[in-house]
Chains A and B, each alone.
Chain A
Amino acid sequence: MSTLSVHDHGVVHHEEGHEHHHDTFLTKYVFSQDHKMIAKQFLITGITMAVIAMLLSILFRIQLAYPDKAFPLLETLLGRFAPEGRLDPEFYLSLVTIHGTIMVFFVLTAGLSGTFSNLLIPLQVGARDMASPFINMLSYWFFLTACVIMLSSFFIQKGPAGPGWTIYPPLSALPTAMKGSGMGMTLWLISMVCFVASSLMGGINYVSTVLNMRTKGMDLWKMPLTIWAFFLTAILGVLSFPVLVAGVVLLIFDRSFGTSFYLSDIVVNGQVMPFEGGSPILFQHLFWFLGHPEVYIVIMPAMGISSEIMSVNSRKPIFGYHAMVYSLIGITVLSFIVWGHHMFITGMNPFLGGVFMITTLIIAVPSAVKTFNWLATLWRGNIRFTPAMLFAIGMVSFFISGGLTGIFLGNAALDINLHDTYFVVAHFHLVMGSAAIFGMLAGVYHWFPKMFGKMMDEKLGYLHFWLTFIGAYLVFFPMHFMGLDGVPRRYYAFTEFASMQRWLSVNMFITWAAIMSACAQVAFLYNFIHSIFWGKKAIQNPWQANTLEWTTPVEHIHGNWPGEIPTVYRWPYDYSKPGAEEDFILQTTPFSQTMSSNLPHDFEDNPAGMDELNKWTSTQKANEEVK
């Protein structure tokens, strides 16, 4: 900071916002333009939303396990949404909708990308801040506005939106169709527009920062995999969210102005509606063109975070760094041409279904490349089981077990049976829900010292991990079998059907597993809040990692590095390099200081360095002979 302001004369530096010498409470904690503070704001808002969405899921799990029982407590808590202690069926639909929306968008998109892209992009590429700190701040405030609007829908007469997180018309386009299609749906749409604005502002900033503001020596192939993942995630968001906006704009026109983009031949309450000629399938195309990249927006940051953490804690270079990057790029490109697999049963031309099936199944290739690389990174590593490491391994576990069922669902013929059953619920809760949240938690445990300058408690971390890991499998694994038996998702009380009655006991089991996992989160919340204030003080590089963020001082300063931004000389994964003094070599250590560990392939496009290496090895040999 001080060095910067010394240089401040005469050049156009005032754009930067570096001149905040005297931060007031308002500019430091509220309207902060510092990427580290914005990251914390995103994280804490994201965690709050996650807790709310988790509690909503417990509510509808109780209904599923005990469809005939009345819980007077529920009426006390929810009032008109649970008359006589039983959930109102339409409120059940609202719960499912809002749970999905919050988890997918507010927690795993904004909470995950927003937190870690903001924190790590400038720190790991070596930049003072984002390309546009002001837009970055706006991004957070739009996100918070979106959260508030979404939650406010619980306080209106008819309750929140109810047509599912995919808001398919006609249910979402006709305000009179059901309670959840009214005012709640309008609020959902407004909230989503704010959210998309926030996401776009964030994403644009991330892409621009990664491409333009890397420090000296940081070429693209020296970036940590976290940065690659955030960068490609941001590109996905920038290209796909506008399409959702287009779909939502047309939906708003249908709802409020009476156009017929999505509506045709509709009768509500015996009354023929004036809509003609619209096509609800059009909405599904527009929605899933965003919706499918969205699931990769959710999982790719978790992949990047896990790659980094697993390499650090295995004390080994990540296996197949280039393959990891290319597979991320492959996933990014493929994710745009697979959206049709959500629509196999919409009467799609079977030939088209076949095309989407093939593109979908091809995604298994880059995903498998990543999985095998993670396993190979662990292989014979000097593994340290920190809580972050456990969560990263958990992420890989969920990604495998959830990904395998994706191969079933991507098949156009099998999907006829499996579509909209609990099999789908199990699949995406494992592969993108649990895997992504585990990636996020791994990131929280790993970068907590960087964010707050304190360490989290390890024992509570282990408790949190095991209860959540086991709990998540107990919740989602049985759902596969329900789905194979044809149990449909989103039903209020499917156990009333004679053929599905036997699933009631499984439902009870799942509900209790869910309650146990929810309780486990208390360990995390306590650990998180307690450590912020009373945790052990962190040292500068507690995990002995190579990346740039650990070269910054523990105390946060505006501009990240007190002096010049360090220069980068090597890739981020030089762990346990043979011949090195320690088992990690910072990215900022030049090769000239590590002569004993340099290898010929370090100098592939650097003949001068190669000469030096040869000279050094020949002198070493000569010395040996003298001895």
Chain B
Amino acid sequence: MAQIQQEDRINLNAKKFVMWIFIFTSFMLFAALTSGFIVYSGGSGHGLSVILPSSFRYSTIVLIASSVTLFFASRAAKRLEFEKQQMLLWITIGLGVGFLLLQVYGWYILAYKMQIYLVDPNATRSFVYVMTFTHLLHVIGGLIWLISALKGSIKRIPQVKNLYRMEMTSIFWHFLDIIWIYLYVFLLLNQ
């Protein structure tokens, strides 16, 4: 019996490891986009020369806040405080959606107020859209994970599974946070 239990723990580890490798692949995708940006602007002499809309700054704060609430949600789950876990998850999801809206608002400001469109002879500006769009797709994936963790907690699935879902969600969500900071700082440095 002990043998079997040990095996099972290893199997969940393998699945968590799957998430970690997925993060590597995602990271490579963003690394490719940013290095594409560098190669492009280096080769063509184009710079971004855009002051990024302030909504990106706010969205960064919102996303960091969501990471903090998710951290506390995980802690609540570990301490078997499920009500608190669910509440914090709701807040995290809310902040995630808030991030989505702020990003879209950022595009709106870029396009309608600053006349900086996706289609531009200076492709560094198109890169801004492509990077934020790709990140946004990942955020939608992250929201799905958050919802599944919340659903699990509400349905009172076994604690092992609850923690597993929380952990998978956390790994991915914190990664999204870090990637966004990376992209934002990258764009700020190049603006």
A55 interfacial by beta-carbon distance below 8 Å: no
Also in contact, A239 and B126, with CB within 8 A (given A132-B15, A246-B33, A286-B36):
no
A51 interfacial by beta-carbon distance below 8 Å: no
Query: Which residue of chain A is the closest to B43 with respect to CB atoms?
Result: A279
A253 interfacial by beta-carbon distance below 8 Å: yes
**Distance from B128 Cβ to chain A, minimum over Cβ atoms (Å):** 11
A260 near B158 with CB under 8 A, answer no
**Distance from A236 Cβ to chain B, minimum over Cβ atoms (Å):** 11
Also in contact, A208 and B21, with CB within 8 A (given A15-B11, A278-B123, A286-B32):
yes
A613 interfacial by beta-carbon distance below 8 Å: no
A241 vs B26: C-alpha distance in the bound complex, in angstroms?
10
Which of B1, B10, B36, B120 is within 8 Å of A282, CB to CB?
A: B36
Chain A 228-239, CB-CB to B under 8 Å as 1, else 0, gives 000000000011
A249 near B134 with CB under 8 A, answer yes
Query: Chain B residues with Cβ under 8 A from A285's Cβ?
Result: 36, 39
A249 near B14 with CB under 8 A, answer no
A243 near B161 with CB under 8 A, answer no
B11 near A16 with CB under 8 A, answer yes
**Distance from B170 Cβ to chain A, minimum over Cβ atoms (Å):** 18
B40 near A238 with CB under 8 A, answer no
Mark out the residues of chain A between 207 and 261 whose CB falls within 8 Å of any chain B CB in the assembled complex. Answer: 207-209, 211-213, 238-243, 245-247, 249-250, 253, 257-261
Query: Chain B residues with Cβ under 8 A from A564's Cβ?
Result: 3
Query: Chain B residues with Cβ under 8 A from A277's Cβ?
Result: 44, 46, 121-123
Query: Which residue of chain A is the closest to B21 with respect to CB atoms?
Result: A204
Query: Chain A residues with Cβ under 8 A from B123's Cβ?
Result: 259-261, 277-278
B21 near A238 with CB under 8 A, answer yes
B10 near A253 with CB under 8 A, answer no
Query: Chain B residues with Cβ under 8 A from A261's Cβ?
Result: 36, 40, 123, 126-127
Residue of A7, A132, A279, A281 contacting most chain B CB atoms (<10 Å):
A279
A12 interfacial by beta-carbon distance below 8 Å: yes
B13 interfacial by beta-carbon distance below 8 Å: yes
Query: Chain B residues with Cβ under 8 A from A279's Cβ?
Result: 39-40, 43-44
Query: Which residue of chain B is the closest to A205 with respect to CB atoms?
Result: B18
Chain B 1-34, CB-CB to A under 8 Å as 1, else 0, gives 1011100101111110110011011101101110
Mark out the residues of chain A between 257 and 294 whose CB falls within 8 Å of any chain B CB in the assembled complex. Answer: 257-261, 275-279, 281-282, 285-286, 289
A131 near B122 with CB under 8 A, answer no
B118 interfacial by beta-carbon distance below 8 Å: yes
Which of B18, B33, B122 is within 8 Å of A204, CB to CB?
A: B18
A281 vs B40: C-alpha distance in the bound complex, in angstroms?
9
Also in contact, A246 and B29, with CB within 8 A (given A131-B17, A277-B44):
yes
Query: Chain B residues with Cβ under 8 A from A498's Cβ?
Result: none
B44 near A242 with CB under 8 A, answer no
B126 near A213 with CB under 8 A, answer no
A13 vs B11: C-alpha distance in the bound complex, in angstroms?
9
Determine the interface band of chain A, counting residues with CB < 8 A from chain B.
35 or more
A200 interfacial by beta-carbon distance below 8 Å: yes
Chain B 34-60, CB-CB to A under 8 Å as 1, else 0, gives 001001100110100000000000000
A257 vs B133: C-alpha distance in the bound complex, in angstroms?
14
A12 near B161 with CB under 8 A, answer yes
Also in contact, A259 and B118, with CB within 8 A (given A242-B25, A242-B28, A286-B32):
yes
A253 near B126 with CB under 8 A, answer yes
Determine the interface band of chain B, counting residues with CB < 8 A from chain A.
35 or more
A11 interfacial by beta-carbon distance below 8 Å: yes
Residue of A12, A203, A205 contacting most chain B CB atoms (<10 Å):
A12
A281 vs B29: C-alpha distance in the bound complex, in angstroms?
19
Query: Chain A residues with Cβ under 8 A from B126's Cβ?
Result: 253, 259-261
Also in contact, A243 and B29, with CB within 8 A (given A207-B21, A260-B123):
yes
B119 interfacial by beta-carbon distance below 8 Å: yes
A259 near B120 with CB under 8 A, answer yes
Which of B18, B29, B119 is within 8 Å of A245, CB to CB?
A: B29
Which of B25, B33, B158 is within 8 Å of A200, CB to CB?
A: B25
A616 vs B111: C-alpha distance in the bound complex, in angstroms?
83
A200 vs B29: C-alpha distance in the bound complex, in angstroms?
12
B40 near A282 with CB under 8 A, answer yes
Also in contact, A12 and B160, with CB within 8 A (given A212-B14, A239-B24, A259-B119):
yes
B25 near A238 with CB under 8 A, answer yes
Query: Chain B residues with Cβ under 8 A from A364's Cβ?
Result: none
B17 near A211 with CB under 8 A, answer yes
Query: Which residue of chain A is the closest to B160 with respect to CB atoms?
Result: A12
A213 near B10 with CB under 8 A, answer yes
A211 vs B20: C-alpha distance in the bound complex, in angstroms?
12
**Distance from B164 Cβ to chain A, minimum over Cβ atoms (Å):** 8
Which of A209, A212, A289 is within 8 Å of B32, CB to CB?
A: A289
**Distance from B191 Cβ to chain A, minimum over Cβ atoms (Å):** 18
A107 vs B36: C-alpha distance in the bound complex, in angstroms?
29
A311 vs B3: C-alpha distance in the bound complex, in angstroms?
34
A15 vs B127: C-alpha distance in the bound complex, in angstroms?
41
Which of B28, B36, B44, B122 is within 8 Å of A250, CB to CB?
A: B36
A-B residue pairs in contact (CB < 8 Å), sample of 17: A11-B5, A13-B8, A131-B15, A132-B18, A135-B18, A207-B21, A241-B25, A242-B29, A242-B32, A245-B32, A246-B33, A249-B130, A258-B119, A260-B123, A277-B121, A281-B43, A285-B39
5 tightest A-B CB contacts, nearest first: A276-B121, A246-B32, A131-B14, A212-B14, A242-B28
Chain A residues engaging chain B, CB cutoff 8 angstroms:
7, 11-13, 15-16, 131-132, 135, 200, 203-205, 207-209, 211-213, 238-243, 245-247, 249-250, 253, 257-261, 275-279, 281-282, 285-286, 289, 564
Given A212-B10, A242-B26, 11 extra CB contacts under 8 A: A7-B1, A15-B12, A204-B22, A208-B18, A211-B17, A212-B11, A239-B25, A243-B31, A278-B123, A282-B36, A282-B39
